[in-house]
Structure 1
Amino acid sequence: MTLHEWWIAPFDDFGFMRRALMACLALGLGAGPVGVLLMLRRMSLVGDALSHAVLPGAAIGFLIAGLSYPAMGAGGLVAGLVVALLSGQVSRETVLKEDATFATFYLTSLAAGVLIVSLRGSNVDLLHVLFGTILAIDADAIRLVGLIATLTWMSLALVWRPLVAECFDPDFLRMVGGHGRGQHLLFLALVVINLVAGFQTLGTLMAVGLMMIPAAVARLWARTLTGMVLVAMGVAWSSGYLGLLISFHAHLASGPAIVLTASALFILSLGFAPGGVARRLFTRPHLAH
């Protein structure tokens, strides 16, 4: 097999591969910076919880319109926002911490979503909802993912400085009169809409994969916030491209192949990145002789 046949021909010959690649590029563009901010705010597991929280809304959209990405995406957006708002409100009004409320709501949402899909759909339909069908993505879904990426960057341009300040020094932000609660809710909304974009491509169970794994890789390689955002987007794009190629040539499921490719890059980074294990093993202590 020539290099062209391996690296280029699948995208050159098949429209569904080109559409899947475009969706991965748009998803990485929006999810990259959001994942980095989630990681810096120590909210990585909140992203995972919200990725499951969209399932009931997506399931209701499936019951109404079948495997229609706009309908399922709209339902997932509403469900994710409701869970995010309820979790934040409950954590403020009770003794429960936000991680506990998110865990409770996401487990409830996951169970409810699976039950709703099983009421009318088949096991195949449930697998489509849970694990995505990126190779079947259409032009409307690509436009939706691209719109979400555009809205993400526009929103981050407006609140980037206070979001970064809250990551590193929330007390200072409160002292200067920053609207932490409003910005926090806006940030949660950005997380939800990017998870909806991920749901369009990778399904509800793996939507967070291209959001958090590239962010973890970026933290190992980059030392500045801008560098982490750029590395995270690059890892997401590389994972999408390589994962699609692997799934095409090896006849594997595309969504898991993409996420596992990102995981492989993370493992390699653990060994060779400046912030990885190798540096700590082979770098002598500063005062050692």
Structure 2
Amino acid sequence: MQDDGVSILCDIPCELGEGPSYDPQSGKLFWFDIVGRKLLERPFPDGPTAVHDLPFMASAIAFSDAGTQLLVGETGIYRRNPRTGALTLHTPLEADNPKTRSNDARVHPSGAFWIGTMAKDEGEAAGAIYWSREGEVRTLYPGISIPNSICFSPDGRITYFADTPRGILYRVECDAATGMPTGEPRTFLDWRGREGFIDGSVVDAEGVLWNARWAAGAVDAWGPSGEHLRTIRVPARQSTCPAFAGPDASRMIVTTAARGRDKAKEPDAGKTFLLNLPVKGRFEPRVTIS
């Protein structure tokens, strides 16, 4: 295993840090403490971290060309005013089910949103993965327990996703123009019986998939053919999701979770880290808003 060096980017611990995303238009990094109902915002790399209280659990954020933000929460997709923080419901999603919340989500290169939901108590098969665009929602994969690793190849023709308890990272062919699947999911990575669990992922400009491995304190890089390229250790066991950041997307950060950890033994649990290695990242696509 390689250790390329990791430094603390933000020392504010999150119970469940998740959903990091960098906005090149503002130069800011955003991420969530899902169970703490907070949105964190920080000029990257330096500057004070603002912590915004939310009225519900939320897990993902996306940006439009017009500067509007879309925030994925318990009951749907919300417009967020970046200046005032005001939230307005844009698209309901499982709004009639108080037992579920959003989890992993990411914007496809076409501008469509892939969004995963799960039970708040992590109950089996209570969630799903959805496709959403301009107010339309379609169910892609029902019966999901903990959706994770939603990410896309640079050309939008391949989507990856996982149901974490199953230990399988899937690969499915997609229509690059719409982000809709055109084939059946196939196994990209079988992680059953190995250390940790597949959590959040992101794909770089060369098609390399970077995955945060929950309960292992690691970020793994996998080539487009499934070959293991490298592992970077993180000083917090519950690493949750990586993201590219910086004006040229050449830096990588990773969120972690403090929930259930002994802070005396693991003082960095829940903090957000900067991986000290250059990457050939890419910016998240802008979301299409009706």
TM range (shorter): under 0.3
Bigger radius of gyration, 1 or 2? 1
TM-score (norm 1): 0.26
Greater share of residues in strand: 2
Greater share of residues in helix: 1
TM-score (norm 2): 0.26
